[in-house]
A and B are shown apart, each in its own frame.
Chain A
Amino acid sequence: MNSKIKYQIYKNLSLIRKTQEELIERYHPADQMRCPMHFCIGQELMPAVLGTLMIKEDSIFTHHRSHGYYIAKKGSINEMIAEFYGKASGTTGGLAGSQELTSPKINFYSGAILSGAFAISLGDAFEKIYNKKKGITFSVIGDGGMEEGIVFETLNMASKMKLPILFICENNLYSTHTPLNERTLEKKPSNRAKSFNMETTYFEDNDPDKLFNLLNKVIKKIRITKKPQFIEIKTYRFNSHVGPEGDDHFNYRNKKEIRNSIKKDALNFYSKKMLRGDKNFLKIKNNIDNANKKIVQKAFKFAEKSDFPKEFQSFNFKGTYKKIKKFYDNKISFGTTQENHKPKPY
């Protein structure tokens, strides 16, 4: 693992954190981002490391807490913020918003109906095999989504059809405000993937270097074998389930659990680890932090200056056909002979 990768991981961690903090800060005073938003402070580790291993040809499908993965896939911050502002210059013209953040040009897709995007990854991975394409597919889900039936169908099909997918489950222990132990007796969602004969790994640590080494190995193998794998990462959301306000006054999480989790913050941990081990890092860190700050501030300006979209109805249908001119245009009427049909047992 070279320094370049380490700096990149720090840059990702810091950029994800910075966008989340700015969004939370500006959400209400501006009142211009009028869509439900699920922030990912505390859960930056997986996307930040993954961002150093994904290539342009890879696709990624994620749950609604998706900002980190969008940034990891090198999505434009300008377009992301503009999308949240409902502006035409947004990733999808301001029509989808935060919880369905999508950017086809970087193969990034997400959605709010928990496990839906998780399953769509199947077809994307199949297409890569069918058309002999470079790249694999990443499919990210939360511990909550893992309880929906389609997940089992998806894991089974991926395994049986040998599709090149890395399934990632971010287990943050809560589905909105309901803890895992109130929903299932199986503590590790990854154990369910095992029953589909899939290589499965469980990761519980806050050190990005360790996660990088693991992911690097797993992803390399998927690129060669084209077979799916499943990784569960234990994580923790520091912010509330949705929106900028805290929700810990509902007391659905143990205070000690929150404190201990924040103590293990990957960004803080990595920053200290790097400062200890790399003499140059202090300067580099400052440069990265400043650059990230500028990227985010510029994005808000871009969003504010952009125009609102003017149409929506015409977007429901693409309304075109592929190569239809090569078909005979059957405008003339054909014979209307239709013999009587006699239903028979079948």
Chain B
Amino acid sequence: MKKKILTFSQSINEAMKQAMAFDKSVFTFGIAVDKTGHVFKSTEGLLKKYKSKRIFDTPNSEQAETAFALGASLDGKLRPVLIHHRVDFMPYSFDQLINWISLWSFKSAKKSFAPLVIRAIVGRGWGQGPQHAKTLHTMFSYLPGLKVLMPSSASEAKGMLLSSIMSNDPVIFIEYRSLYNTKELVPVDKYYIDIEKPRLRLKGNALTIVAAGASVLTSLKAAEVLYKKNGIKCDLFDLRSISNMKLESVLSSIKKTKKLVLVEDGWKNFGYSAEIMATVAESNIKLDAAPQRICWPNSHVPMSTPLEKEFYFDENDIINACSKILNIK
């Protein structure tokens, strides 16, 4: 498979283009998706190629847009991709997500289904502040019937978005803006990824690190330092899907290493880290040291630069947590 270096944003753009070329039932819409910024370039070129039939702007109507996506997707008649520039606009559409989309397949006893994708971007960083930097991934994951995905890199993003669009279930696709300029070797053709299962990013025996979305990159940086400085190799898992986590591979890694660090770009309360810890406890896995969670504090994020810097963790926080568990300095 031929590969080329793409940014996360170009990768998303390729996935959109390839999905639309492959399947005529795919269309995309949302507030200002076809305008100047092209959703941070991720929808660039679509209007020129597919015209306003398949990519169009909507009024500021997040609720109706979401209901629109559901109605259009019924039984796979169409495959809408609805885009929000910030996750923070999605709470408008909680009724549609909670009372309609998430239970559509369930309450029809699988006689109907709704293959729609909602792409939403997390501001995170550069003073985006309390109304532009939330992730809300655990809120969505709490609901049965939704697939909640958080791609961690360019190559993951392309395959995961293509797989999401072809999935016959509703998907919430959370993209961190802070990853948009990161680059990676990405397969050129269209490809799918098993979005249900975590991906093992790094292999090792010393400890298990679990992350998702932007925190995978931060964890990779931390793991690199740990290896260079102390020769320590760890298993690093990228969860990919936050909802209905299939944790078999993660749990067997924890059984092997008996040490666990969880990294999550999101609030500590009720996050996937907490959920994984609960699963570890239920599975009666004995650990050598108390597991560590690296998450956001249970507070809204301040805009002011020094406070914001204090709010978000970085690779050093992960290194410190790992060092503590491994009892190294």
Contacts and interface: CB of A to CB of B under 8 A. Distances in A.
B182 A322 contact: no
B62 to A, nearest CB: 8
B155 A93 contact: no
A130 B23 CA distance: 13
A125 B70 CA distance: 12
A123 interface: yes
B144 A316 contact: yes
Interface stretch (B101-109, B204-212, B262-270, B321-329): B101-109
A329 B179 CA distance: 24
Interface string A111-139: 10100100111111111001100000000
A342 interface: yes
B69 A123 contact: yes
A156 interface: yes
B49 interface: no
Contacts of B192: 321, 324, 327-330
Contact of A102 (B72, B112, B145, B155): B112
A116 B204 CA distance: 50
Interface stretch (A147-155, A236-244, A253-261): A147-155
B108 A116 contact: no
B302 interface: no
Contacts of B110: 314-315, 318
Given A92-B111, A327-B166, A334-B3, A153 B190 contact: no
B27 A95 contact: no
Interface residues of A, number: 63
A92 B109 contact: yes
Nearest to A114: B95
Given A122-B67, A123-B72, A123-B74, A157 B59 contact: yes
B135 interface: no
Interface string B91-120: 000011001100101111111110100000
A116 B96 contact: yes
B61 A157 contact: yes
Contacts of A154: 61, 64, 67
A279 interface: no
B186 interface: yes
Given A119-B64, A123-B68, A329-B191, A335 B95 contact: no
A251 to B, nearest CB: 32
B162 A318 contact: no
A109 to B, nearest CB: 8
Contact of A150 (B63, B145, B169): B63
A328 B112 contact: no
Interface string A157-173: 10010000000000000
Interface residues of B, number: 79
Contacts of A149: 63
B67 A334 contact: no
Interface in B23-79: 23, 27, 40, 53, 58-59, 61, 63-65, 67-79
B100 A116 contact: yes
A120 B183 contact: no
B75 A330 contact: no
A325 to B, nearest CB: 9
Contacts of B95: 113, 116, 150
B172 to A, nearest CB: 14
Interface string A73-107: 00000000000000000001111100010101100
A336 B201 contact: yes
A327 B107 contact: no
Interface in B250-290: none
Nearest to A313: B144
Given A309-B109, A318-B110, A130 B53 contact: yes
Contacts of A61: 71
A277 interface: no
B6 to A, nearest CB: 11
A339 interface: yes
A123 B96 CA distance: 13
Interface in A292-326: 309, 312, 314-324, 326
B191 A123 contact: no
Interface of B: 1, 3, 22-23, 27, 40, 53, 58-59, 61, 63-65, 67-80, 95-96, 99-100, 103, 105-113, 115, 125-126, 144-145, 147, 153, 155, 159, 162-163, 166-169, 177-187, 189-194, 201-202, 217, 220-221, 244
11 contacts: A95-B109, A116-B96, A123-B74, A157-B68, A316-B145, A317-B105, A318-B105, A330-B1, A330-B159, A334-B186, A337-B185
Closest 4 CB pairs of A and B: A123-B71, A93-B109, A123-B72, A119-B67
